[in-house]
């Protein structure tokens, strides 16, 4: 395999670098005959921390062909690492490891309560069994995902059950993500000490300081929520009565406040078609997050949270290269010059 080389300004530090892909590891030691594939502004790969590849519609089974297409879209957009907090089924062995996939971590099928969540998706163990099932899942894949709330008025997973799930998942060496879109679900999740809250719509801002202190991350999926809000507001009658309007309307402010409070905020899309991580970064910036921090949530900060270093000697050989600083021109995120995963170049998406 040819040794690839990238050269330019590395983020987040803004220092010049000259990197060589020695197999699946970066090195600054020059390699004779290395192929210079791109120069420019270099990020250690983009990250989509909330994506559900492999099924075209809610409730459908995992389809390997759809999965391949979805992962290709991620790669073409510069995403070299994904986290799937919930999949329509157990993925094939090549998921997250082959040349046609970004690196990936996942939580297996969602875990939900009886009568809640998407019909046809996930598992619904008895409440007493939920902590053990979550721990068993996390022991297999590193993550488990619990839907703690669903529709207005639905029962929220009791805090004592969720607290036990956290303890057992951690004892198994894993992490626990939760779906929450109501204030009570968010309160229970923070009190139980979960590792990440997905969506977090309706979350009480007073809880942000505790989240930062105990290390509970927030993946706001802001572009998905604000996009859905726009659809609701287009119908005045629906806008007057829809339960999501208050929480969705405040979600941008919540996201910006979480960043300022020191919460680890992760960029995740939760939309189809896949490959739209740039839209999530732009949604964060529109909400008042600085471009540097918004891109961090979709790159080096997210990689660090998921256990991968940045552009340093010995780090996994992932990178995305842009022609200019994406912090001053967010449009650069739509047109990577080169995408490198595991020391191999992936053809970037071509745009006008």
Peptide bond before residue 273 is cis, with ω within 30 degrees of 0: yes
Residue 58 has pLDDT above 60, yes or no: yes
What pLDDT does residue 348 have?
A: 67
Q: Find all residues with CB under 8 Å of 283, minimum gap 6, and list them.
A: 222, 223, 226, 252
Residue 1 has pLDDT above 80, yes or no: no
Q: What is the dihedral of CA 169, 173, 177, 183, to 10 degrees?
A: 60
For residue range 259-284, what is the model confidence (pLDDT) as tens digits? 999 999 999 999 999 999 999 999 99
- 309, 6 Cβ separation under 8 angstroms: no
Peptide bond before residue 12 is cis, with ω within 30 degrees of 0: yes
Residue 352 has pLDDT above 70, yes or no: no
Identify the sign of the CA torsion 257, 263, 266, 271: negative
Q: And the tokens for 213?
A: 């202190």
For the chain, the domains span 4-43+312-346, 60-305
Q: Which residues make beta-bridge pairs with 18?
A: 7
- 293, 285 Cβ separation under 8 angstroms: no
* pLDDT confidence bin for 351, thresholds 50/70/90: very low
Instruction: Kindly report the CATH class assigned to 4-43+312-346.
Output: mainly beta
Nearest to 291, CA basis, from 258, 257, 329, 323: 329
60 Rama class: left (phi>0) / alpha (psi -120 to 50) / beta: beta
Instruction: Kindly report the CATH class assigned to 60-305.
Output: alpha beta
Residue 179 has pLDDT above 50, yes or no: yes
| pTM listed for this prediction | 0.96
Mean pLDDT, the chain, integer: 96
- 177, 85 Cβ separation under 8 angstroms: yes
Lowest mean pLDDT among 181-190, 241-250, 298-307: 241-250
Residue 80 has pLDDT above 90, yes or no: yes
Residue 181 has pLDDT above 60, yes or no: yes
């Amino acid at each position: 395999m040819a040794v690839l080389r990238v050269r330019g300004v590395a983020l987040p530090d803004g220092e010049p670098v000259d990197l060589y892909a020695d197999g699946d590891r970066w090195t600054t030691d020059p390699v004779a005959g290395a192929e210079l594939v791109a120069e420019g502004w270099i990020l250690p790969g983009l990250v989509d921390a909330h994506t559900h590849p492999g099924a075209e519609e809610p409730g459908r089974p995992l389809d390997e062909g759809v999965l391949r297409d979805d992962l290709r879209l991620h790669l073409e957009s510069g995403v070299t690492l994904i986290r799937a907090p919930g999949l329509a089924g157990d993925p094939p062995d090549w998921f997250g490891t082959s040349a046609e996939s970004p690196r990936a971590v996942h939580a297996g099928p969602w875990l939900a309560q009886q009568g809640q969540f998407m019909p046809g998706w996930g598992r619904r163990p008895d409440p007493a069994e939920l902590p053990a099932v979550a721990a068993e899942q996390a022991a297999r894949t590193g993550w488990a995902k619990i839907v703690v709330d669903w529709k207005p008025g639905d029962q929220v997973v009791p805090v004592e059950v969720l607290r036990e799930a956290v303890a057992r998942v951690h004892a198994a060496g894993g992490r626990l993500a939760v779906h929450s879109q109501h204030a009570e679900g968010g309160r229970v999740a923070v009190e139980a000490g979960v590792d990440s809250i997905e969506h977090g719509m309706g979350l009480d801002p007073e809880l942000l300081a505790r989240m930062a202190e105990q290390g509970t991350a927030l993946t706001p999926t802001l572009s998905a929520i604000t996009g859905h809000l726009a659809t609701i507001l287009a119908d005045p009658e629906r806008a007057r009565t829809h339960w999501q309007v208050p929480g969705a309307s405040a979600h941008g402010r919540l996201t910006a406040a979480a960043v300022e409070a020191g919460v680890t905020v992760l960029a995740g899309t939760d939309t189809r078609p896949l490959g739209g991580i740039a839209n999530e970064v732009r949604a964060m910036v529109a909400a008042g997050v600085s471009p540097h921090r918004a891109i961090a949530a979709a790159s080096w900060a997210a990689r660090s949270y998921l256990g991968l270093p940045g552009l340093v000697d010995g780090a996994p050989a992932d990178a995305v290269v842009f022609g200019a600083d994406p912090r001053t021109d967010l449009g650069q995120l739509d047109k990577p010059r080169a995408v490198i995963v595991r020391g191999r170049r992936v053809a970037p998406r071509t745009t006008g």
